[in-house]
């Protein structure tokens, strides 16, 4: 008889204690205050008087084992053997004396890891998988992010923005990359092309019908075979039908392009959390460097940096000066597509005579 297979140890989320820097473990829940001695460095002081310095560095998120081992060598030699990662894939090293900070920064810089991403900086871009691993990507994510961070690295290593700037990139409008002060998302703009010979073989048709957000998909017989059809007037080209039904090809190299959205904010600080809004579209999908995307992002960042008040996030700035002025200051064109025409979108129209001349 064959040996019984190993069954998983359903251990769930591990305890964090074993992975915590000793100073953090000792002062868990008992911190007093913090400041930022320089960009990329946080300094926390515990009620016990203990101190810890955190050095934050940018990574490429998709890391090879050699890069991770290099980062671990740095942690062992300069940072007491512990690290953590942020939600934006920055690596953080914690050290218990101020004297360890500069040698650590020098080593990280020498190895090609920029130090920054704290405070009023443009931090690393949270992003999706793109051509490397996603099944409905209109573009690459890691590549577009690398190209953009090359352009924005000075804003990563400095803290010169009015408030923090958080960017996201998504390889379709399903937007797994998340809300951002600036969200850079590719948009499929054509309905899926259906290979009717394949649908009956590989797709569970009710599942595909249920998946469509606008009920544009319905069962149909095509050339005597069970298949699906799409009401192209209703289709909003999201691509959600592709994963359960690969014969519904959504990738369109010719027509897909980037839309840029601004004003997303997750914090409750000052104003309530907000979603990002459309400001630009039709931006070409131009690998490997996507220069047109960088140009629009830099245009928005430049206007924000020049005009916003201290502590205003991009969306708060636009709300204060008014969206007409946002388009004026950024030089971006305003079109009929900026006007929300979904039935709940009336809340976004101006029911007042509040106008700035």
Site for another protein in 236-295 (CB under 8 A): 238, 240, 243, 246, 251, 253, 256, 264, 266-271, 273, 275, 285, 287-289
Residue recorded with tokens 């793109």: 130
Q: Is 161 in the site for another protein (CB under 8 A)?
A: no
For residue 164, which of 58, 285, 304, 276 has the smallest C-alpha distance? 304
The closest alpha carbon to 164, from 314, 282, 8, belongs to 314
Should residue 3 be labelled a site residue for another protein when binding is judged by CB under 8 A?
Answer: no
Beta pairing partners, 308: none
Candidates 5-13, 97-105, 220-228, 296-304 — which segment interacts with another protein by CB under 8 A?
5-13
Distance CA 215, CA 241 (A): 11
Per the DSSP assignment, residues forming a β-bridge with 57 are 91, 115
Q: 227 or 257: whose CB is closer to another protein?
A: 257
**DSSP 8-class letter at 6:** P
Specify the residue, 38 or 127, whose C-beta has the smaller distance to another protein.
127
Radius of gyration of the chain, Cα coordinates, nearest whole angstrom: 24
Residue 16 as a binder of another protein (CB under 8 A): the answer is yes
Taking residues 116 to 155 in sequence order and writing x for each that binds another protein by CB under 8 A, - otherwise, the string is ----------xxx-xxxxxxxxxxx-xx--xx-xx--x--
The 10 Å Cβ neighbour count of residue 12 is 6
Which residues ranging from 288 to 347 are in contact with another protein (CB under 8 A)?
Answer: 288-289, 309-311, 342
Residue 32 binds to another protein (criterion: CB under 8 A):
yes
Nearer to another protein, 96 or 328 (CB): 96
- For position 348 contacting another protein by CB under 8 A, the verdict is no
Using the contact rule CB under 8 A, the part of the chain among 110-118, 220-228, 291-299, 324-332 near another protein is: 110-118
131 SS3 class: helix
Q: Are 152 and 290 in contact (CB under 8 A)?
A: no
Could you say whether residue 355 binds another protein (CB under 8 A)?
no
Instruction: Give CA separation, 349 vs 162, 272, 343, in Å.
Output: 28, 19, 12
Contacting another protein within 213-232 (CB under 8 A) = 213
């Amino acid at each position: 008889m064959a040996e019984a297979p190993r069954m998983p140890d359903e251990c769930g989320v591990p305890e964090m204690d074993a992975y915590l820097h000793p100073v953090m473990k000792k002062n868990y829940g008992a911190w007093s205050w913090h400041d930022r001695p320089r960009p990329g460095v946080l300094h926390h002081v515990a009620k016990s008087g203990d101190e810890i310095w955190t050095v934050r560095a940018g990574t490429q998120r998709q890391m090879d084992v050699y890069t991770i081992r290099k980062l671990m060598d740095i942690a062992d030699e300069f940072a007491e053997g512990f690290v953590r990662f942020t939600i934006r894939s920055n690596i953080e090293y914690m050290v218990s004396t101020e004297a360890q900070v500069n040698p650590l920064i020098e080593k990280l810089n020498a190895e090609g890891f920029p130090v920054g991403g704290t405070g009023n900086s443009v931090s690393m871009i949270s992003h999706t998988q793109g051509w490397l691993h996603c099944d409905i990507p209109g573009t690459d994510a890691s590549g577009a992010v690398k190209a953009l961070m090359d352009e924005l690295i000075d804003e990563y290593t400095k803290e010169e923005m009015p408030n923090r700037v958080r960017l996201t990139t998504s390889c379709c409008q399903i937007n797994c990359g998340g809300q951002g002060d600036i969200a850079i998302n590719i948009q499929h703009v054509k309905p899926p092309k259906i290979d009717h010979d394949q649908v009956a073989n590989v797709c569970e048709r009710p599942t595909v019908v249920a998946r469509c957000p606008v009920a544009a998909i319905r069962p149909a017989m095509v050339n005597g075979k069970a298949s699906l059809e799409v009401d192209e007037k209703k289709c909003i080209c999201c691509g959600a039908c592709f994963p359960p039904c690969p014969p519904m090809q959504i990738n369109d190299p010719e027509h897909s392009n980037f839309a840029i959205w601004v004003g997303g904010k997750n914090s409750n600080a000052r104003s309530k959390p907000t979603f990002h809004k459309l400001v630009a579209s039709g931006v070409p999908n131009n690998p490997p460097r996507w220069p047109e995307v960088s140009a629009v992002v830099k245009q928005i960042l430049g206007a924000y940096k020049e005009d916003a008040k201290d502590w205003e996030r991009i969306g708060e700035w636009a709300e204060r000066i008014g969206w007409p002025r946002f388009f004026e200051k950024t030089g971006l064109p305003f079109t009929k597509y900026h006007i929300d025409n979904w039935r709940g979108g009336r809340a976004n129209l101006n029911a007042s005579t509040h106008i700035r001349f």
